Amino acid sequence: MQKQTDVLIIGGGFSGVNVAQKLSKGGLNVTLVDKKNYFEVTFAMLRNVADPKLVGDTPRKLYSDFIGGTFIQGAIESMNTQEANLANGDTIRFKRAIIASGSHYPTLPLAKSISAFDYTERHQEMEENHKTLAAAKSILLIGGGNVGVEFAGEIASAFPDKDITLAHASDTLLDSMKPKAQLKALEQLTAKGVTVKFKRRFKKEGNLYRCSQSNETIQADLVYECTGMKPNTDFLKAELANVLDANGLVKVDSSMNVVGYKNLYALGDCSALDIPKHGYLASVQGKMLADSILKADQGKKVKPYKTPTIAIMAVTGHDTGVAQFPFAVFTAKFIIGLKQKDLGIGEMFKMFGSKPNKLS
């Protein structure tokens, strides 16, 4: 079956949903395609696993309950400049396409599921992950970026009696943040009883994990590898391999156009736009791209994209965290509480013109 749309949006993450909502509201015929039938505030998943009673299913919502335009659940296998081919054999022809296919963690599917594409299945997946975590006495987390740091803090807050080790390859946590933020995060995790090991590269070796640098070994009941985020861009390799850089990211210009193609755009985790990646920033990108497209259609001048100034927060448990602003780093509870309140779930849905599901 062949379908037709003005704007095809591939991927219903932060950027894809925001651009879909704005363009649909602006009067364009929009079709959003995603493998899942639900949107998820992914940066709330770590608490969802560690202490599910605090957030429940509030981070998730069916696309059909709030998305503007047309939603199609399906997997896109290939595309060119005029049409996209779905795994079920359908074809979607478009005038413009926005690639917002996001990313995944091959070793940490609890953060972004790679198999639970149904709302109920995802709920069950999270419940099973929580039960596994609750049963473990010793835990090793590999990777001291945002995911590893936040997950260690969430686990330590929910299960203060567990033996938790966080191992990181470099000599500071949160490599993309300022030294003061890095030091404060380390202090907060240590105060919660987390053992932090720097300059460690642990790899699985039988029932153990061995560091290739120190030869140290660790045996833990449960190991989370919080590294190796990969962009979801394999579907482009068949006909548009030239748009990908060496890391599999889509190359874009200052208008978020895919380099060399005026009717194709890319943003969010799958694009080479803004490194490092951040969920809230992806939402801002979606809004900016939608505004640019609507202005261009009205013959108005469009400014090139510039990375906006935003605060970056990393929570290190239920009551602590660090907030990095361009001018300073803060750990005050009234500032950290802006995210701690509901991990930004309510604010994210508000950006989409919706509200999260009620906590049951």
Query: For residue 300, what pLDDT band results from cuts at 50, 70 and 90?
Result: very high
Averaged pLDDT, 93-122 = 96
For position 202, what pLDDT does the model report? 95
Averaged pLDDT, 84-95 = 97
Model-level pTM? 0.95
Asked whether the beta carbons of 156 and 162 are under 8 A apart, the reply is: yes
Residue 360 has pLDDT above 80, yes or no: no
Query: For residue 339, what pLDDT band results from cuts at 50, 70 and 90?
Result: confident
What b-and-e string marks burial along 191-208, b requiring 16 or more CB atoms within 10 Å of the CB? ebebebbeebebeeeeee
What b-and-e string marks burial along 290-308, b requiring 16 or more CB atoms within 10 Å of the CB? bbbbbeeeeeeeeeebeee
pLDDT, tens digit (0-9, with 9 covering 90-100), for 67-81? 999 999 999 999 999
Q: Which of 138, 145, 153 is nearest to 105 (CA)?
A: 145
Asked whether the beta carbons of 157 and 236 are under 8 A apart, the reply is: no
Beta bridge partners of 85: 78, 91
pLDDT, tens digit (0-9, with 9 covering 90-100), for 208-224? 999 998 899 999 999 99
Q: What are phi and psi of 46, to 5 degrees?
A: -65, -45
Q: Which two tokens stand for residue 230?
A: 């990969």
CA distance 113 to 38: 11
CA distance 205 to 216: 12
**Which regions of 112-216 does DSSP assign to beta strands (E)?**
138-142, 163-167, 195-197, 202-205, 208-211
Residue 276 has pLDDT above 90, yes or no: no
For position 310, what pLDDT does the model report? 79
Report the chain's mean pLDDT, rounded to a whole number.
94
Residue 338 has pLDDT above 80, yes or no: no
CA 189 to the chain's CA centroid: 23
* 3-state DSSP assignment of residue 224: strand
Beta bridge partners of 324: 312, 329
CA atoms lying within 13 Å on the CB side of residue 128: 10
Q: Residue 309: is it exposed, middle or buried by C-beta count within 10 angstroms (0-12/13-18/19+)? A: exposed
CA distance 96 to 306: 22
Residue 196 has pLDDT above 80, yes or no: yes
Residue 335 has pLDDT above 90, yes or no: no
* 3-state DSSP assignment of residue 114: coil
Q: Which two tokens stand for residue 27?
A: 């009067």
* 3-state DSSP assignment of residue 23: helix
Q: What length does the chain have?
A: 360
Task: Name the residue with higher pLDDT: 311 or 314.
Answer: 314
Q: Considering only 77-91, 150-164, 269-283, which range has the smallest mean pLDDT?
A: 269-283
For position 275, what pLDDT does the model report? 78
For position 290, what pLDDT does the model report? 97
- Domains defined along the chain, listed by start: 2-35+74-105+229-307 (3.50.50.60)
pLDDT, tens digit (0-9, with 9 covering 90-100), for 130-185? 999 999 999 999 999 999 999 999 999 999 999 999 999 999 999 989 999 999 99
Place of tokens 């701690």: 340
Q: Which two tokens stand for residue 309?
A: 């100034």
Residue 278 has pLDDT above 90, yes or no: no
